[in-house]
Amino acid sequence: MSERYIPKVTEAAIPEDGGWAELENEDVLILSIPDWDEIGGVTMESFQYVWLYDRLEDAYLLCFKINGELEKAIAFAKDHAGLLLTHQNAYQPFSILITSDALGTLNEQTPYFYLPKVELKRHPKAGW
């Protein structure tokens, strides 16, 4: 069994845009995070993740560590990116595709990073 992941990140990115798609019969949440140019070229060998709920900001935080070293976090505030987590696809395991490009400009050459099969366990205090 792998060691439990305890995040050490101190800030979270807020997606500029996002939406759901079905890619190869899989529900995928596509996010545009312009500040993350470097993540598009990362080859993932392993990743760990944990969802946290920030009661003060009423937001879910997805914290993840890639290849045991690169650590990132994404904030899903209830009235912003959190709306994506209220979609029916977010109630079962789904994958996340992250790009620094605008979603309207995506094509086959667009660099991206892919997190397969994440599962959001909703916090009882969140209510959403």
- pLDDT value for 43: 85
Please write the tens of the pLDDT for every residue from 99-114.
999 999 988 889 999 9
In whole angstroms, what is the distance from residue 10 CA to residue 39 CA?
A: 18
What's the whole-model pTM score? 0.92
Strands (E) across 2-124 are located at: 17-23, 26-32, 47-54, 59-66, 70-77, 94-99, 113-118
The pLDDT > 70 percentage for the chain reads 98
Whether residue 23 lies inside any domain: the answer is yes
pLDDT at site 38: 86
Question: Which domain covers residue 102, as residue numbers?
Answer: 17-118
In single-letter form, the type of residue at position 122 comes to: R
Number of domains, the chain: 1
How many degrees, rounded to 5, is the angle at CA 32 between CA 26 and CA 34?
A: 150
Is position 82 within any domain?
yes
pLDDT at 20 over 80: yes
User: Does residue 2 fall inside a structural domain?
Assistant: no
- Identify the pLDDT of residue 123: 93
> What integer pLDDT is reported at residue 2 of this predicted model?
62
- 98 strand-pairing partners: 31, 113
37 occurs within a structural domain: yes
Per-residue pLDDT at 1 exceeds 60: no
Residue 34 vs residues 49, 58, 112, 121: alpha-carbon distances, Å: 21, 23, 11, 27
Give 7-17 pLDDT, tens digit per residue: 999 999 999 99
- Kindly state whether residue 3 falls inside one of the protein's structural domains: no
Residue 11 belongs to a domain: no
pLDDT in tens, 35-84: 998 887 788 889 999 999 999 999 999 999 999 999 999 999 999 999 99
Q: How far is CA 118 from CA 9, 56, 61, 88, 96, in A?
A: 19, 24, 13, 14, 8
Count of CB atoms situated within 10 Å of the CB of 2: 6
Whether the CB-CB separation of 62 and 84 falls below 8 Å is answered with no
* 124 in any annotated domain: no
Q: Decide if 10 is inside a domain.
A: no
